[in-house]
């Protein structure tokens, strides 16, 4: 049994204690997966039939990795016979076998979230309910929460507390929708993901013979990430282990960060109440991080009262202290991070993939992405989209593009019926057909909608209202700054209201992203106001971000800096980690500061972030940040004060050498327009009514051109697809410029 020699003393003891209930409290970086894997190897090596072992994980990736390790350690394929997988995959397997007991076919369909949302939308429509009040995502989350608390539709409707909550939220028909949804799924022989747990509980509750069958079958049950289990998962595990009592749960209460998904930390904190003879093993040696990082993380988590006490330690080198950078703005924060990554790569011969940037909310990625792009540092958004590729961001930017250029057909198609205004796909198809047949742009077709397309009067009027809105926005371009106009468009179009009414976590994130885009616009305007020669208007902003977002993000390139939320980082590790936005009301979240339980979860989230770092952890915060369009002054997060001051090195931009400081200052300006002495764009802004741009489809290298603001110049270079052609032009008055041609105002002289 040479595999036991690879374990430290506590790890080995936890592997060998196979009988009865065991709780393995695994500190960050303490070899949790190895212990869980070797415990299964030890059971099989001791003569236990692999078919009698069930191992529950939270991701398919973890299950696959563990099976590979077991097979390697055993030197045979016996480990493949272990029932190992996620809760959902394992119990879907059982439900397929036993489906007829609860009235389902064995080949029942499993609905994904899109299927569920589509069904809910249909039900809401059939009930003649307002789909803005009964948003599908909100209803789905409510039904999901009920199922994870093992509440049927009937029980939901009988529960006076729930009914009162729905009444107060002005959604009294949620129970009615839940009931219809459950009946439709059953009628269709379909289960959603929550049903895979909910129906398993029903199966074991109502059919004791079935429960006894699986209790006898599985003598040993292991559960990974036990702190993340919800009520439905815990009840299944409790029922299955009732006969043999051989249950091993592995987890870390200090890393319980998914309460918003229904995870219940009490499952691990109260485990001994249900299993009084539990043996507890504490894996406290950290193999991942330096002494300074481990000690700093300990100094934070010890402030939580609701926890198991652990003394996590390491034999690794002391390493560097945790660095804390103070920035004056979020743009400066992003610039500092980009500069630190750039210089650390050079000084220590590191790769982009050695760095991770972690944030509390997705909306924080904007300033960081822009800073990395400007330094030409490859990055990828882990488990999400780049800021400017998110749907809600593209929607608002499409409105802005259409305001500046109504002939932009891609923007037109994207927003003509968003938010929904009764201009459906059939109408859009007719407009497209008329456009092609008459060789006219879609904007020209809809401008004369009464004569160009055969549609009913109601739809025609809605199109006219849309046109009027866009033309009204367009009339403001010349004399309204980009932030004020974009805010007006976001409100007047109904886009902000549509997002605001969605109170699900996803809806709130989308609303925050729009606010962050507006924050970026506000910063753009305020920065450019300080420079007389820089434009504060919408076309200049669109040109800047279009050039920025047109950079190719080479998502296939493995050598990329990882950007992600802290929640997404759990289970990962990186040599260098930046934790950004450590400000009161951002991290910890403003929503959590009024509750000790929620504040402690935020602190656990910070602990998770710190313990992702192997070599160095860097924390950043900004003393000011645009939020909701207003410049807000911030206090450093209380979590910074939680850190042992002997383990922290406080820094700011003024401590950097002059060259690095100058680079950050220039990056922080937030404008791609060089700050030479230009023709004043604000003062001598040429009206588009007196300057007519040529059709630039035939623009070629060597052409002499005139720009409405920059004067006379020569075209040096052209590149890009027809929809995103860029030209490099040298203007004699202002120097070299890169222009996106669909926004550029150029007259071809020769």
Catalytically active residues, by annotation: 32-33, 224-225, 255, 612
Return the SS3 of 319.
coil
The closest alpha carbon to 579, from 614, 613, 628, belongs to 613
Segment 390-396 long-range contacts (CB within 8 Å, at least 24 positions apart): 390/362, 390/510, 390/513, 391/510, 392/495, 392/499, 392/510, 392/511, 392/513, 392/514, 393/513, 393/514, 393/517, 395/495, 396/486, 396/489, 396/490, 396/495, 396/514, 396/517
For residue 4, the Cα-to-chain-centroid distance in whole angstroms is 40
Which CB contacts under 8 angstroms, 24+ apart, belong to 586-595? 586/360, 586/361, 586/625, 586/634, 586/637, 587/360, 587/637, 587/639, 588/637, 588/638, 588/639, 589/360
Name, in order, each residue with C-beta under 8 angstroms of 151's C-beta and a sequence gap of 6 or more.
159, 162
Residue with token string 């009931």: 179
Q: Counting beta carbons within 10 angstroms of the beta carbon of residue 33, is it exposed (0 to 12), middle (13 to 18) or buried (19 or more)?
A: middle
What whole-number distance in Å separates Cα of residue 238 and Cα of residue 282?
22
2: number of Cβ within 10 Å: 6
CA distance 24 to 31: 11
Three-state secondary-structure class, residue 476: coil
Residue indicated by tokens 């007006």? 488
Give the torsion through C-alpha atoms of 540, 543, 548, 552, to 10 deg: 180
H/E segment holding residue 630: strand 630-633
Closest CA to 685 of 541, 536, 542: 536
Question: In whole angstroms, what is the distance from residue 186 CA to residue 51 CA?
Answer: 32
Contact status, residue 705 vs residue 693, Cβ threshold 8 Å: no
Peptide bond connecting 419 to the previous residue in cis, omega within 30 degrees of 0: yes
CA distance 173 to 192: 21
Are the C-beta atoms of 221 and 248 separated by less than 8 Å?
Answer: yes
Contact 544, 339 (CB under 8 A): no
641: tokens are 């004060």
């Amino acid at each position: 049994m040479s595999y036991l020699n690879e374990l430290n003393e506590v790890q080995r003891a936890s592997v060998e204690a196979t009988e009865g209930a065991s709780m393995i409290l695994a500190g960050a970086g303490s070899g949790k997966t190895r212990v869980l894997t070797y415990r299964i190897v030890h059971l099989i090596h001791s003569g236990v039939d692999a078919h009698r072992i069930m191992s529950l994980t939270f991701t398919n990736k973890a299950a696959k990795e563990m099976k590979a390790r077991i097979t390697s350690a055993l030197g045979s394929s016996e480990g493949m016979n272990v029932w190992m997988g996620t809760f959902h995959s394992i119990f879907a397997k059982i439900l397929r076998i036993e489906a007829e007991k609860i009235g389902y076919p064995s080949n029942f369909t499993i609905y994904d979230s899109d299927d569920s949302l589509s069904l809910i939308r249909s039900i809401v429509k059939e009930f003649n309910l307002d789909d803005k009040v009964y948003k599908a995502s909100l209803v789905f989350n409510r039904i999901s929460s009920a199922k994870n608390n093992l509440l049927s539709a009937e029980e939901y409707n009988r529960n006076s507390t729930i009914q009162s909550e729905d009444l107060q939220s002005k959604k009294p028909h949620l129970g009615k929708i839940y009931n219809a949804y459950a009946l439709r799924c059953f009628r269709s022989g379909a289960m959603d993901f929550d049903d895979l747990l909910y129906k398993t509980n029903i199966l074991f509750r109502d059919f004791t013979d079935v429960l006894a069958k699986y209790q006898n079958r599985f003598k040993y049950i292991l559960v990974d990430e036990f702190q993340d289990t919800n009520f439905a998962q815990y009840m299944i595990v409790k029922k299955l282990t009732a006969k043999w009592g051989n249950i091993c749960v592995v987890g870390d209460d200090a890393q319980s960060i998914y309460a918003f998904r229904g995870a219940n930390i009490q499952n691990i904190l109260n485990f001994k109440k249900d299993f009084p003879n539990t043996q507890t093993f504490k894996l406290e040696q950290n193999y991942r991080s330096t002494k300074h990082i481990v000690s700093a993380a300990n100094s934070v988590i010890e402030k939580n009262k609701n926890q198991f006490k652990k003394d996590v330690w390491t034999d690794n080198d002391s390493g560097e202290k945790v660095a804390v950078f103070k920035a004056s703005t979020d743009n400066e924060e992003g610039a500092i991070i980009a500069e630190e990554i750039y210089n650390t790569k050079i000084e220590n011969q590191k790769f982009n993939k050695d760095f991770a940037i972690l944030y509390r909310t997705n909306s924080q990625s904007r300033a960081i992405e822009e800073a990395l792009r400007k330094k030409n540092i490859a990055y990828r958004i882990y488990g999400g989209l780049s800021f400017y590729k998110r749907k809600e961001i593209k929607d608002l930017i499409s409105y802005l593009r259409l305001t500046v250029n109504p002939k932009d057909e891609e923007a037109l198609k994207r927003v003509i019926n968003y938010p929904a205004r009764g201009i459906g796909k059939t109408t859009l198809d007719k407009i497209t057909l008329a456009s092609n047949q008459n060789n006219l742009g879609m904007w020209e077709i809809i401008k004369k909608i009464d004569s160009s397309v055969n549609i009913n009067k109601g739809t025609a009027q809605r199109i006219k209202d849309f046109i009027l809105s866009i033309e009204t926005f367009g009339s403001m371009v010349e004399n309204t700054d980009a932030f004020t106009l974009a805010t007006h468009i976001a409100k007047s179009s109904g886009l902000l209201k549509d997002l605001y009414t969605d109170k699900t976590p996803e809806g709130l994130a989308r609303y925050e992203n729009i606010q962050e885009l507006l924050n970026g616009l506000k910063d753009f305007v305020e920065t450019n106001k300080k420079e007389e020669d820089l434009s504060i208007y919408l076309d200049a902003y669109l040109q800047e971000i279009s050039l920025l977002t047109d950079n190719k993000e080479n998502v296939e390139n493995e050598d990329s800096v990882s950007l992600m939320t802290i929640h997404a980082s759990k289970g990962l590790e990186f040599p260098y980690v930046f934790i950004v936005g450590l400000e009161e009301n951002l991290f910890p979240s403003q929503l959590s500061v009024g509750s000790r339980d929620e504040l402690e979860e935020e602190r656990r989230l910070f602990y998770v972030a710190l313990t992702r770092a192997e070599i160095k952890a860097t924390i950043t915060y900004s003393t000011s940040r645009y939020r909701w369009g207003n410049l807000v002054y911030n206090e450093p997060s209380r979590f910074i004060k939680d850190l042992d001051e002997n383990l922290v090195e406080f820094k700011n931009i003024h401590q950097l050498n002059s060259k690095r400081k100058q680079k950050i200052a220039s990056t922080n300006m937030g404008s791609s327009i060089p700050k030479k002495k230009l023709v004043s764009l604000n003062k001598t802004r040429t009206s588009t009514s007196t300057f007519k741009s040529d059709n630039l489809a035939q623009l070629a290298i060597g052409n002499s051109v005139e720009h409405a603001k920059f004067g006379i110049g020569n075209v040096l270079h052209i590149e890009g697809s027809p929809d995103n052609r860029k030209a490099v032009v040298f203007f004699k008055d202002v120097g070299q410029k890169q222009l996106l041609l669909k926004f550029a105002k150029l007259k071809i002289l020769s």
